[in-house]
Amino acid sequence: MSTDKVQYITKGTDIQFSVKGRKWINSDGRTNMPSGEVFTGPIEDSVNGTAYFSLPSVFEGHIVKGITLTVKDGKIIDWKAEEGQELLDDIFKVPGANYFGEVAIGTNYNIQQATKNILFDEKIGGTIHMAVGQSYFQTGAKNKSIIHWDMITDMTQGGKILADEKLIYENGKFLI
């Protein structure tokens, strides 16, 4: 893919990152079930902005809601949760967890509601997710951590994705 800069924009979110030279992978039913996402890893020091994750997320049995992350030059420098702040504080003490290992778009429109099971929820059509911590090295990404935690947000109510400043996705659907 020749795209360099990607930007996610929705309520509480305006975050951009480079994917130049990274491989996008289509989760097409051969592994990682249920299927329905496209993902890659961002250039580690390229992520900048704020991301609000509107769907509840579960990590090791603990629910965290309303996560907001602020990122500068790839590093998560501030984090807040409407519920579960203590868990976030603990997560970002883990080496490598304060960088993103994955950026992705959910494409399974047959999954229509959040279940608090990340393997399903990250695939919901009309969502994006970003994982803190460990990268998928097959994408070309390099971040290492014992953590890989997907955080998900709804894009169906005014959400946009720009690729090299061109609008390619709006309100949870690809335009091209």
pLDDT tier at 176, thresholds 50, 70, 90: confident
pLDDT surpassing 90 at residue 31: no
Q: Which of 159, 162, 132, 164 is nearest to 147 (CA)?
A: 132
Q: Taking the chain, what is the end-to-end CA distance rounded to the nearest angstrom?
A: 15
Percent of the chain with pLDDT over 90: 85
Report the pLDDT value the prediction gives residue 41, as an integer from 0 to 100: 97
pLDDT tier at 2, thresholds 50, 70, 90: confident
pLDDT surpassing 90 at residue 68: yes
Q: How far is CA 40 from CA 22, 23, 116, 133, in A?
A: 7, 6, 23, 13
User: What average pLDDT does the segment 8-22 reach?
Assistant: 98
pLDDT surpassing 70 at residue 26: yes
pLDDT surpassing 90 at residue 144: yes
Hey, what are 26's tokens? 């289509």
Q: Which of 171, 134, 132, 130 is nearest to 152 (CA)?
A: 130
pLDDT tier at 116, thresholds 50, 70, 90: confident
pLDDT surpassing 90 at residue 27: no
pLDDT surpassing 70 at residue 32: no
